[in-house]
Amino acid sequence: MLTERCMVLRISERMKVGRPENIERAIEILKESLGKKISTREVDLVSYSHDYWPITLHWLIKGEVPALPDAVVWPESTEEVQLVVRTAHELNVPVYPYGGGSGVLGGTVPERGGIVVDLKRIRDVVLNEKDLIVEAGAGVNGYYLEKYLESKGYTLGHFPQSLYPSTVGGWIATKATGQFSTKYGGIEDMILGLEVVLPWGDIVTLPPHPRTATGPDLRKLFIGSEGVFGIVTRAWLKIWPMPEERIMISFVSDSLNDALKSVKKILRRGAKPAVVRIYDEIETKRHFYMFDEAYGKIMTVMILEGDKNVVEAERKIVEEEFQGRPLGEEPVEHWLKTRFDVKEASEFAPLGVVFDTIEVSSRWSNAVRLYENVRKAMMNVNGTLFASAHASHFYPQGVCFYFTFAGVPRGDPFEYYESVWDAAMRATLESGGSISHHHGIGRQRRKWLPEELDKAIEVLRRIKEALDERHVMNPGNMNL
């Protein structure tokens, strides 16, 4: 079927589902009102056939795309998004919100055909200095927003490793979190208000308030909903004055447990370092090989920032509590310089090496057991070359482990990939953890979601049914 629509590439057999019945009519209507803001050109369809889901790189190399949309639109206003969604709803045509396409779980893959809605042209920014709030269109690029705020003396404090290719709407939809989250929180802690186009085309605005008690918080319904409950078109976010002081500290410890225990104590005394990262032995070797003192040890890097007096008090707490040898600022400077380097996945795929990362969370009481179980489970899969982790986000109650694995599959890369994911998800659940800390569910993790949510999955299904009974809004994503 694909040959009718695209001469060069095949659709992967894994997801092929056919074309929506009324797609031609929908495209005709949208062309009339959107003109050049809609495309059915092959180059655009192929460009929007995938996000940054690492296994799809292996398919692309073989000339396969995970799925193809029938059209791509670039609306410039909430009203244009409304028009697209209304038309799609009336004609039963799927729509897939698309931000920066940096999602790593296939969340934007147009698996049932239909229309990809790229939000990047909704990109206005309004600074409200009196209330310390920034209003941003859903398509505003993360790096642009932060640079703009910094030029005015503020920061959002949100630095995902994908800051350069991701958008405000994508952050909200995936419940993203950034490298400075221990102080500033995840995106859910930054959102004060939202504007959303609902699956039948109505626009709702949930205005920015410091807090409200007007029933359940509907903002939360859309944070982490991955485009299945509606399209976020605008957000109001908290901002902070640029920090007055920044202190960089690093330590090497003999064991992961020592480092984790130290950070737990620091947080429980009320200090909030903006950045804390603890690397296991393998990752310490991989990322900090130039520091002889770190060889065979566990590296921890920390950044404390904010008001000078507060930061000084935090430094004292860190120095009193950390069990390890101080290594100064240099490792932190190295981390700051390299923190956006992400070339591995695309470098390894052409060599036939399957590479991916899996982030999960754990309460402190299970943390070390979970780390060991998940790593062992991934290593036990035939073909795995290495599995390692660092702890990247911290709370008084627990921690996020960010695992990395690489392997050379004996047969089909997808089968190997699924086996490692399966092993990691199962070990996480058996160790009492949560299967995702910040990447979300998408199409890669969807089969494990019911197991984690148990009976609560029914709540999600019924909300989906109530909001989108025609299943036009990113159908299949999160299995909804």
Ligand X SMILES: Cc1cc2nc3c(=O)[nH]c(=O)nc-3n(C[C@H](O)[C@H](O)[C@H](O)COP(=O)(O)OP(=O)(O)OC[C@H]3O[C@@H](n4cnc5c(N)ncnc54)[C@H](O)[C@@H]3O)c2cc1C
14 in helix, strand or coil? coil
Q: Which of 20, 103, 114, 383 binds ligand X (CB under 6 A)?
A: 103
How far apart are alpha carbons 95 and 231 in whole angstroms? 10
How many chain residues interact with ligand X (CB under 6 A)? 37
**Amino acid at the residue 382:** N
Largest CA distance in the chain: 68
Q: Which of 48, 59, 74, 98 binds ligand X (CB under 6 A)?
A: 98
- The token pair at 361 is 């969370």
Q: Judged by CB under 6 A, which of 177, 250, 284, 444 binds ligand X?
A: 177
Structure tokens at 444: 């890669």
State the Cα–Cα distance between residues 389 and 368, nearest whole angstrom. Answer: 12
- Taking CB under 6 A as the criterion, the residue among 44, 51, 146, 280 binding ligand X is 51
Between residue 190 and residue 229, which ones bind ligand X under the rule CB under 6 A?
Answer: 226-227
User: Which of 40, 47, 92, 161 is close enough to bind ligand X by CB under 6 A?
Assistant: 161
Contact positions with ligand X (CB under 6 A) in 340-369: 342
| 473 touches 197 (CB < 8 A) | no
Least distance from ligand X to the Cβ atom of residue 226, Å = 4
Among 57, 95, 104, 420, binds ligand X (CB under 6 A): 104
Q: Residue 101, interface with ligand X (CB under 6 A)?
A: yes
In this structure, what DSSP letter does residue 414 have? Answer: H
Of 216, 248, 210, nearest in space to 326 by CA? 248
Single out the segment in contact with ligand X by CB under 6 A; choices: 92-100, 269-277, 375-383, 419-427.
92-100
- Which region, judged by CB under 6 A, interacts with ligand X, from 21-29, 62-70, 100-108, 360-368? 100-108
**Residue 379 C-beta: closest distance to ligand X, Å:** 23
The window from 25-33, 172-180, 201-209, 297-305 that contacts ligand X (CB under 6 A) reads 172-180
Angle, CA of 245, 187 and 429, to the nearest 5°: 115
Residue 167 lies near ligand X (rule: CB under 6 A): yes
**In the complex, least distance from residue 362 CB atom to ligand X, rounded to whole angstroms:** 17
Q: Is 66 in the site for ligand X (CB under 6 A)?
A: no
CB nearer to ligand X: pick between 188 and 258: 188
**Interface mask toward ligand X for 392-421; x: CB under 6 A:** ------------------------------
Scanning residues 426 to 445, which ones bind ligand X (CB under 6 A)? 438-439
Tell me the C-alpha to C-alpha distance, in Å, between residue 117 and each of 36, 75, 97, 120, 432: 14, 7, 5, 9, 37
For residues 197 and 252, which CB has a smaller minimum distance to ligand X in the complex? 197
Rule CB under 6 A: choose which of 194, 475, 477, 480 binds ligand X. 477
Token pair, residue 53, equals: 């889901």
Query: Can you tell me which of 20, 26, 52, 373 binds ligand X, judged by CB under 6 A?
Result: 52
The answer to whether 248 and 302 are in contact (CB under 8 A) is yes
- For residue 142, the one-letter residue type is G
Nearer to ligand X among residue 324 and residue 442 (C-beta): 442
- The pair of structure tokens assigned to 145 is 């927003």
* Cβ neighbourhood burial of 54 (10 Å; 0-12, 13-18, 19+): buried
Answer for which of 66, 69, 99, 224 binds ligand X (CB under 6 A) is: 99
Report in angstroms how near the CB of residue 84 gets to ligand X at its nearest. 12
Q: Which amino acid is at 40?
A: T
114 Ramachandran zone, left/alpha/beta (phi>0; psi -120 to 50): left
Q: What is the CA radius of gyration of the chain?
A: 23
Residue with the shortest CB distance to ligand X: 170
* CB of 292 vs ligand X, minimal distance in Å: 29
CA distance linking residue 325 with residue 305, whole number of Å: 22
User: What is the binding site for ligand X (CB under 6 A)?
Assistant: 51-52, 96-104, 107-108, 119, 138, 160-162, 166-167, 169-171, 173-174, 176-178, 226-227, 231-232, 342, 438-439, 474, 477
